[in-house]
Amino acid sequence: MVDYKTVKAYFGDVELTKWITITDGFTIFNGADYDPDLKDIKSSDGSIFINTRAKHKVIKVPFWVKYNSVDDYDALQLALYSKKPKMLMFSHVPDRYFLATQVGDFNFKEIKMSGFGELTFIIADGYAHSTSYKRFKDYSQDGNKMTFKIKNNGTAHAFPIIRVKHLGENGYIGIANETGAFALGSPEEEDGTIVHRNEVLFDYSKEIAQALEGAPNVAKLNYMPPTFDSQLKRMRLDNILGSGKGGEYVVIGNRGTTPGYGEHVGTRTFTINPDSNGEYTLNEHLWWQQIFIATAQDQKGFLKLCVTGIDDEGNDEFLYGIETYKRKNGFETEYNFFALDDDGVGWRFYKQFEFQADRNYHNPFSMNRSRAVEIFREEDKFRIYFNGAHHHVTVPSLKGKKSRKIHLAMGTCSDSSKYINYNLFEKVNFEKMGVSHYNNIVNKYQPGDEVIINFENDTVSTKDIDSIQDVVLGSKMISIPPGESELVVHLSSWVAALPDISIDFEERYK
């Protein structure tokens, strides 16, 4: 039997039992408030049962408190304050938490600087959640079908997070169990004719150190400094700004100080190889990740990638690029797509955006966002990804101009001694689109693509970019019922390599 005087209670990150002692009468096992839906039939006795809906749950915590001053009362009130639900946990059930909001007063009866009271918490979803996720990866295979046996030890349906890491090409993901069916892509997508598909021409998404193999400080940019006087280097950073995330990055190393320069720039240049047919590209997909966070308003600097071709005289010719540029005090930062201008001689901006480059969520290159940059090119037509949306641009002067090199440039501004302290280049991948191949259609999912289907928050992402548009019409939310069940994943009928799939979920308890 539990001695509730020894039970510790936590709300958010704060232990409430620093100030209060839980007393008899406390329980978390009072269940949710069920609301049956009944329909009356005038010609019949009784009612017809339709279904039952679980409403919110209430947890009351009776307590005894002895305080030495009003400071203890204020500290308890501050710990209970919240604008949204927080995790509520009790030490006698350490494997569960509730998403709770404290409501009402303490119903306090004071007895000489001590007394009895009661805390009331509303659990809006009506459930306790497991503090850790269960993971299932084992499956049985029947052709293109993968069957997972799952055991949910909770007493309520759980909402899974399904990660599909592709090891080969695939055009369809269908998920089904007894609760419903959900699908992405097209089950009719085939792989057996002369087709045009994407071909990866270089990929530095796994080992960023490869990016430093590019030729240093020989880049061709949209506009050129007299010389490149800075150096780029590799650096490992962990737990960036307390996010728990980190890794290896390309950063600015030795910063140039050449007098008279407006910018101090370091670069790396990568050669784009021809495709498997020996041809260079007019149609491409360029994707990279970057971190761009200023922690002070007077920090300045930029990160850009430029693509060049070859002109009639055999020299590098600037084609297009994207830059992230903080050029003034404050947090206002530019995100610009620029390309060869209409007369094919100079350059101009075609799309410009602004964002705040502090650490908050509205910064698309902060630690809790995807940090992704994406450009789709089809000769003179572009799709530019920024902050959750794609934007269309036409650059007529790029018709017939093939891409040959990519140039990474990172730099600082001479009018500020402070540079962006989280200006980090993370990953880069370059694909040619529409390469002619036999027996291989351009499929939706390529090797290395990770699709995350999150039924906790109803989101779908592919390569860290929102892809909810890929959901097949009529798809239904999937949940994991209590007890033992099966979940089946169907793939394209021609898939050669099954993906690596994991199914994670919090167990829930009524």
What pLDDT, on the 0 to 100 scale, is given for residue 37? 64
CATH of the domain at 148: 2.60.120.860
Give the tokens for residue 87: 């995790």
Q: How far apart are CA 308 and CA 316, in angstroms?
A: 6
pLDDT at 433: 82
CA angle 370, 255, 202 (to 5 degrees): 45
Per-residue H/E/C for 258-321: CCCCCEEEEEEEEECCCCCCCCCECEEEEEEEEEEECCCCCCEEEEEEEEEEECCCCCEEEEEE
Q: Per-residue pLDDT for 219 more than 80?
A: yes
242 and 351 share one domain: yes
Residue of 348, 342, 335, 344 lying closest to 305 (CA atoms)? 335
Q: What is the pLDDT of residue 134?
A: 97
For the segment 488-503, the average pLDDT, to the nearest whole number, is 95
Same domain, 110 and 142: no
Instruction: Please indicate, yes or no, whether residues 103 and 187 belong to a single structural domain of this protein.
Output: no
Question: pLDDT grade, residue 497 (50/70/90)?
Answer: very high
Q: Are residues 449 and 433 in the same domain?
A: no
Question: Which residue's entry shows tokens 């008899």?
Answer: 24
Q: Strand, coil or helix: what is 140?
A: strand
375-407: per-residue pLDDT in tens?
A: 999 999 999 999 989 999 999 999 999 999 999
Alpha-carbon 303 to chain mean position: 21
- pLDDT tier at 427, thresholds 50, 70, 90: confident
Look at residue 437 and tell me whether its pLDDT is greater than 60.
Answer: no
Q: Verify that 378 and 287 share a domain, yes or no.
A: yes
Q: pLDDT confidence of 361, banded at 50, 70, 90?
A: confident
- Cα distances from 495 to residues 165, 210, 443, in angstroms, run 13, 31, 10
Which is more confidently placed, 266 or 50? 266
Q: At 22, which CATH number?
A: 2.40.30.200
Between residues 278 and 70, which one has the greater pLDDT?
278
Judged against a pLDDT cut of 70, whether residue 442 lies above it is answered with no
Looking at the structure, do residues 200 and 186 belong to the same domain, yes or no? no
Q: How confident is the model at residue 443 (pLDDT cuts 50, 70, 90)?
A: confident
Pair (349, 421) in one structural domain:
yes
Where residue 204 falls among pLDDT bands split at 50, 70, 90?
confident
Domain end among 82, 97, 131: 131
Q: What value does the mean pLDDT take over residues 53-61?
A: 84
Instruction: Provide the domain count of the chain.
Output: 3
402, 267 Cβ separation under 8 angstroms: no
Lowest-pLDDT choice from 18-32, 81-95, 261-275: 18-32
Residue 439, pLDDT > 70, answer: no
Q: Which of 183-192, 242-251, 398-407 has the lowest mean pLDDT?
A: 183-192
Domain end, chosen from 91, 116, 131, is at: 131
Range of 72's domain?
4-131
Higher pLDDT, 126 or 190: 126
Residue 194 has pLDDT above 60, yes or no: no
What is the reported pLDDT for 68?
Answer: 76
Over residues 480-508, mean pLDDT:
96
Task: Look over the chain and give the mean of its residue pLDDT values, rounded to a whole number.
Answer: 89
* Tokens representing residue 234 in the block: 């590799």
- Last residue of one domain, picked from the residues 411, 438, 465: 438
pLDDT at residue 79, rounded to an integer:
93
Q: What is the mean pLDDT of residues 321-337?
A: 97
Split at pLDDT 50, 70, 90, the class of 138 is very high
212: pLDDT confidence band, cut at 50, 70 and 90?
confident
Whether residue 208 sits in one domain with residue 150: no
Residues 6+ apart with CB under 8 A from 29: none
| 350/238 same-domain check | yes
- 241 vs 363: CA distance, rounded Å: 14
Looking at the structure, tell me whether residues 183 and 317 fall in a common domain. no
Average pLDDT over residues 217-246: 92
Based on the domain organization, do 116 and 149 belong to the same domain? no
Same domain, 288 and 329: yes
Mean pLDDT, range 144-148, rounded to an integer:
97
